[in-house]
Chains A and B, each alone.
Chain A
Amino acid sequence: MKRTISVVLVLCLAMGLCACASSGSGSSKKLVMATNAAFPPYESVEGNEIVGIDADIAKLIADDLGMELVIEDMAFDSIIAAVQTGKADIAMAGLTITEDRKQNINFSDPYTEAAQVILVKTTSSVQTPDDLEGLSIGVQIGTTGDIYAADIAGATIERYSKYFEAVNALLQDKIDAVIVDREPAKVFESENPDLKIIDDEFTVEEYAIGVAKENTELLDNINASLKKLKESGKIDEIIGKYIKAE
């Protein structure tokens, strides 16, 4: 028994040392990106990797700046705090530019357009955003959907940790609608024949990269990099890879 325990302990120690060794390697400077990898096609987990539009764009920017990209997956509502406190250098998570957020972090130039849409079951009577009054609406905590849902008269807002949990609740008739970004909504819709997207877009907005207020040098570099990538068509290429034109 004692021997088993010591073997296990030694193994743990060895694994810990290996982990240290691997994280210590790599001489170039790291660009830590905070994201919430439950937001396809912008970011999602595939195997051990985080893939998607944001991840690919970040990789190009990191390469351009001669940095090594490290992606940290966390709760969406922790992302801005992570950038503010220096736990991450950039926030890239389908992050919409809003006035409130601008007071806490700086945003780069926008890199793509987005929209909030309403996802309901095919049997739902909801036709336009106005029909949401008085219904129970699922959102992901801290997202723009959460902010906009607060303005709907008489609506009950159910704040889930992840979009797919809100979608699950919708499928089980626990809530009446989910407000979610258009592209993820399309992914959810394609996976569940019981769901449909309301044609009227709830809002139109732009995604940008969040950087800490004091880190203006990085912000300038990112903007320069984004400009180059946009001009060379690389950004459109990445977006086209994940979002099929209709």
Chain B
Amino acid sequence: MSLKENLYLNFIKDDRYKYLISGLGNTLLITIVAVVMGILVGFLLAYIRTTHDKTGRWKVANLFAQVYITVIRGTPMVLQLLIVYFVIFASVNVPKIIVAFIAFGLNSGAYVAEIIRAGIMSIDVGQFEAGASLGFSYTQTMLYFILPQAIKNVLPALGNEMIVLLKETSVAGYIAMNDLTRGADIIRSQTYSAFIPLLMAAAIYLFFVMIFDSLVKKLERNLKNSDH
């Protein structure tokens, strides 16, 4: 079969490209919602962890955050997804896309927490002291001085997390979610082509990773303008 025939069979015939389009839509949607959720959860956890490290307060919350991060980072994403779908939501029927949001968002949160914590810890302790000596409370110092600098420092790492997450969503097919990878799988299961659908899906992932990457770089450049 020529390449042209192969492309026709895999993407044009029976409108098979639609599997990729709808799959891509789900992949991007899951990624974006999970990134936002991950950042929220991550911030909360990082705030708890660093507050405990710096002031000794919030012992119980800190313990919870530590256990959470250990468990999430210590188990495979695909198992977490299956557990959320088949165990946590066993008796409740929620749309699968919500299951995916929650599973990927909670997973990302654990990684983002460590990234942001590293950012906060990288800021010189003298800045906390300076804030305190100017009459700012711990929370104010954190919000107005520490976090803005911390985020700037960890932006490349956060961008990286987003890229990892985009690719990680490829396991969503395990709960019969039609994501990009599953879209390619469906085409493969109909045409039995060993690689054309896979190569196409890979190319689409790569394309979006490059877009994400350039967006993060642009943001970094803009934030650099304040470096003087």
**A residues at B contact (CB < 8 Å):** 76-78, 80-81, 84-85, 100-101, 104-105, 138, 141-142, 146-147, 158-161, 165-166, 168-169, 172-174
* Cross-chain contact A161 with B174 (CB below 8 angstroms): yes
Q: Is B143 among interface residues, defined by CB-CB distance under 8 A?
A: no
Number of interface residues of B (CB under 8 A): 21
A151 to B194, CA, bound (A): 25
Q: Is B90 among interface residues, defined by CB-CB distance under 8 A?
A: yes
A50 to B178, CA, bound (A): 30
Q: How far is the CB of A156 from chain B (nearest CB, A)?
A: 10
- Known A-B contacts A77-B189, A81-B194, A159-B182; the reply to A173 vs B93 at CB < 8 A is yes
- Kindly name the residue among B175, B192, B195 whose own CB sees the greatest number of chain A CB atoms within 10 A: B192
Q: Could you list 14 examples of A-B contacts with CB < 8 Å?
A: A76-B189, A81-B192, A100-B191, A100-B192, A141-B182, A142-B188, A142-B190, A159-B173, A165-B174, A166-B176, A172-B90, A172-B93, A173-B93, A174-B96
Q: List CB contacts (< 8 Å) of B176-192 with chain A.
A: 176, 178, 182, 185-186, 188-192
Q: Is B91 among interface residues, defined by CB-CB distance under 8 A?
A: yes
Which residue of B is nearest A150, CB measured? B190
A166 to B173, CA, bound (A): 12
- Give 14 A-B pairs besides A81-B192, A158-B176, A172-B86 with Cβ atoms closer than 8 angstroms: A77-B185, A81-B188, A84-B194, A100-B190, A142-B188, A147-B190, A159-B173, A159-B186, A165-B174, A165-B176, A168-B86, A169-B176, A174-B93, A174-B96
Q: How far is the CB of A100 from chain B (nearest CB, A)?
A: 7
* Cross-chain contact A160 with B176 (CB below 8 angstroms): yes
Q: How far is the CB of A39 from chain B (nearest CB, A)?
A: 15
- Known A-B contacts A85-B194, A159-B182, A166-B176; the reply to A77 vs B93 at CB < 8 A is no
* Cross-chain contact A141 with B186 (CB below 8 angstroms): yes
* Cross-chain contact B91 with A172 (CB below 8 angstroms): yes
* Cross-chain contact A159 with B194 (CB below 8 angstroms): no
- Chain A contacts of B91 at CB under 8 A? 172
A100 to B188, CA, bound (A): 12
Q: How far is the CB of A164 from chain B (nearest CB, A)?
A: 11
A112 to B194, CA, bound (A): 27
- Known A-B contacts A168-B86, A174-B93; the reply to A80 vs B176 at CB < 8 A is no
* Cross-chain contact B193 with A81 (CB below 8 angstroms): yes
- Chain A contacts of B96 at CB under 8 A? 174
Q: List CB contacts (< 8 Å) of B39-54 with chain A.
A: none
A142 to B186, CA, bound (A): 7
A106 to B172, CA, bound (A): 33
Which residue of B is nearest A166, CB measured? B176
Which of A141, A165, A166, A174 is the one whose CB lies under 8 Å from B185? A141
| Cβ contacts B177-216/A at 8 Å (1 or 0 each) | 0100010011011111111000000000000000000000
* Cross-chain contact A80 with B192 (CB below 8 angstroms): yes
